[in-house]
Amino acid sequence: MGSDSLPSTLTSTKPTPIPTNELDEEHDHDDSPSTAALLSFNTDSSSSSEPLSTSNNKPLFIVLILVTCISLSVASAFAYLFFSSRSPSSSSTTTASSATSPLPSVSHARPLTKLNRPKVILISSDGFRFGYQFKTPTPNIARLIANGTEAETGLIPVFPSLTFPNHYSIATGLYPAYHGIVNNHFLDPHSGDAFYMGAIDPKWWLGEPLWETVVKNGLNAATYFWPGTQVHKGPWNCPLNFCRHYNSSVPFEDRVDAVLSYFDLPSDEIPDFMTLYFEDPDHQGHKVGADDPQITEAVSRIDRMIGRLIFGLEQRGIFDDVTIIMVGDHGMVTTCDKKLIFLDDLAPWINVPDNWVISHTPLLAIMPPSGYSPSDVVAKMNQGLSSGKVENGRYLKVYLKEDLPSRLHYSASDRIPPIIGLLEEGFKVKQKRSKNKECGGSHGYDNEFFSMRSIFIGHGPQFARGRKIPSFENVQIYNLVTFILNIKGAPNNGSASFAKDVLLSAA
């Protein structure tokens, strides 16, 4: 794929939008307490023709006094329960509960109170597998969830579930075959040039990312690390102070504070769209897998950064005006020494030399030289893998790219090598056998695996509070952002109706 134009079939083929769940209906609750009938006493003197005798008056008087005291006590108790149930006992109770409990849902977007137009902060926590938020207390993430909208069973990455393809799919609304970043590393089949994760030549980066779209619509954008933001194409030129070149040594706190500082600018200079990126917990996941205590600490650190952002917005009085969309790019699965497949073991059927292989694992991508039939290579590889004589061979299936399951959307680009191997969850491919056995973590597998899912949380004026929505693919986020900002987006693979299904209607 060598241009930004999309084939005519692209705009007509849309993923099915998520069903509209009426989870945020208003329910009327009767706030009035049930009426309790208190005993009433008639203290009027009767018109008896015969006065009571003195000897009978004293015991009756004592009984009346006792009954009256008891009745007053009962009335006081009911009054206390009535009023205490209608109002919080203290302001601190209200504050504490609001951080963890969803507020009553509404059917219309909440009006801005301080900012003059919508602002969106798109946050990526790399490798934040769905479920990590339950590994340790995450009060700040929980606050966003409780008072916002969450994909109940996670956000589905595009295939391959790798960092660069997914971050650029989130930014463009396009599958990798259409935006051009088909892997973290790949070759241009025409020039032979190699793409690597630091490449910023515009020829690699197709489609229109959100920062381009925002600027084209006359608004302001700022990016604090995101794959593709350093690329100069169109009106976006990665402006100084509003486009940070990736540097992993920058403390997370500094990144948050930089985004907060944008809100101290004059109102017409505040960026309308901002990105914020953290490497964790992907960094730890590759080293120790998905279940190590290091992951727990990394998740806690991310939660502290979310708390720092919330606190800074609250100090400025704009937290409820700002839209926060928190996502991850993919999940993570633990890999270990017994889950290895060696290409050299296929030698009795076919020799697959190292220089044919563009990437080994977890996406096996093979480009045989001219003179070799890709279909013959696939047939012989699968024959060996299914023979029972190749260790773990049954956990790898090799395809011509055009025969891959259509749900992967991974064939419509000549940057995708002709042969693709799909691994079962947690398995890895290596070229040669060695005595080195390693354990760690990986991603890039079939996006159908639940372990590859990440998170989606939306918090802001147009997100219903306490709402759960079904899982969806991350190509839908582009249209979500353009809808919130009320700008015209570029053609993409997302559904035009998705944002209307997920967001509250305008007031």
Taking alpha carbons only, the member of 453, 452, 465, 460 closest to residue 480 is 460
Q: What CA–CA distance (Å, rounded) separates 238 from 160? A: 27
Place of tokens 């994760």: 197
Phi-psi domain of 157 (left: phi exceeds 0; alpha: psi -120 through 50; beta: other):
beta
CA R_g for the chain: 31
- Say how many C-beta atoms besides its own lie within 10 A of residue 297's C-beta: 15
Q: What is the DSSP letter of 495?
A: -
Contact 490, 207 (CB under 8 A): yes
Q: Which class for 476: exposed (0-12), middle (13-18), buried (19 or more C-beta within 10 A)?
A: buried
Please count the CA atoms within 13 angstroms of the CA of 148 that sit on its side-chain side.
22
- What is the dihedral angle through the alpha carbons of 481, 171, 229, 298, rounded to the nearest 10 degrees? 90
Contact 19, 471 (CB under 8 A): no
Q: Across the strands, what pairs with 357? A: 366
Reading the block at residue 169, the tokens are 């799919």
**DSSP H or E run through 182:** none
Q: Which residues are catalytic?
A: 163
Place of tokens 């967001």: 503
3-class secondary structure for 387-441? CCCCCCHHHEEEEEHHHCCHHHCCCCCCCCCCEEEEECCCCEEECCCCCCCCCEE
Residues 6+ apart with CB under 8 A from 270: 115, 119, 220, 262, 263
3-class secondary structure for 476-493? HHHHHHHHHHCCCCCCCC
Q: Is the C-alpha dihedral spanning 417, 422, 426, 427 positive or negative?
A: negative
**In terms of C-beta distances under 8 Å and separation of at least 24 residues, what long-range contacts does 20-23 make, across chains too?**
20/501, 21/467, 21/468, 21/469, 21/470, 23/105, 23/464, 23/467, 23/468, 23/469
Q: What CA–CA distance (Å, rounded) separates 335 from 292? A: 12
Q: What CA–CA distance (Å, rounded) separates 46 from 62? A: 18
Q: Which class for 500: exposed (0-12), middle (13-18), buried (19 or more C-beta within 10 A)?
A: middle
